[in-house]
Amino acid sequence: MRTVSALALSSAFLLALAVLSPLPAKSQDVPGARYNAAQRLEFPANYREWIFLSAGRGMTYGPAADPNGPPQFDNVFVHPAAYRHFTKTGRWPEQSIFILEIRKAQSEGSINKGGQFQTDVTAVEVLVKDSKRFADTKGWGFFEFGTNRQPAAKLPPTASCYDCHAKNAAVEHTFVQFYPTLLPVATAHKTMKASAAH
Ligand code: HEC
């Protein structure tokens, strides 16, 4: 009898330990931004496995917008750890990293009869929140990757990105007003800038 209850007790203890002890870091808990020795951002090769925020079609504000060419698509992704933090708080944690992937649009192909679908990547734009590393640009760094995907230096403070994002983005430097799953979170947590409410 005694052995049985001791056994039950110790297995209950082990179970409690397993439940309470912090799990080993999952790969998605690791910061998505990695830098080489020259402090250049490595291309975040697995960003397609991150959380998808939205797709814009033919949005014309942007760095790679070509008013004369056919409208392009853009896809926005955020690192899973940052996304989880945002859903709880309506704010971005340090090391948050965002991707704006721009792709060509095509209408004729295979069985398609109307509308458009996405094809080749034309640019990958990146935004990272890191107060220490980017202290000279208010804690946010912008990057641009060409098709060669070589490590990229932070764009200088004079780049147009900083000004437009600081002035027009709804939450911190990010355009949450265009991300349908995040907008209600920011609204509930009252973290939207008053100027961005619509
Ligand atoms: C004139 C305004 C403007 C400029 C200039 C601009 N952006 Fe943006 N950016 C936007 C808007 C609007 C979105 C929302 C995109 C969407 O909904 O598809 C965005 C989204 C992004 C995102 C996704 C995360 C976020 O902040 O919401 C990244 C990354 C990004 N831009 C990088 C850049 C980089 C790098 C530059 C400079 C080379 C740049 N942007 C210049 C307006 C701008």
Rounded-to-integer distance, Cα 113 and Cα 132, Å: 51
Ligand 1 neighbours (beta carbon < 6 A): 54, 56, 59, 61-63, 74, 76, 98-100, 125-127, 142, 144, 155, 159-161, 164-165, 169, 173-175, 178
Cβ-based neighbours of 153, under 8 Å, separated by 6 or more: 38, 39, 40, 41, 143
Rounded-to-integer distance, Cα 38 and Cα 84, Å: 30
Q: pLDDT tens string for the chain (198 positions)?
A: 455 555 555 555 444 444 444 444 444 455 789 999 999 999 999 999 999 999 998 887 765 556 666 789 999 999 999 999 999 999 999 999 999 999 999 988 999 888 899 999 999 999 999 999 999 999 999 999 988 899 999 999 999 999 999 999 999 999 999 999 999 999 999 999 988 765
Instruction: State in Å: Cα 82 to ligand 1 middle.
Output: 18
For ligand 1, atom 13, name the residue with the nearest CA.
Answer: 175
How far is CA 128 from each of CA 23, 52, 83, 197, rounded to the nearest angstrom? 26, 16, 13, 23
Instruction: State in Å: Cα 165 to ligand 1 middle.
Output: 7
Instruction: State in Å: Cα 61 to ligand 1 middle.
Output: 8
Instruction: State in Å: Cα 39 to ligand 1 middle.
Output: 22
Q: Hey, which of 127, 138, 198 would you mutate to test ligand 1's pocket, going by the most ligand atoms within 8 Å of its Cβ? A: 127
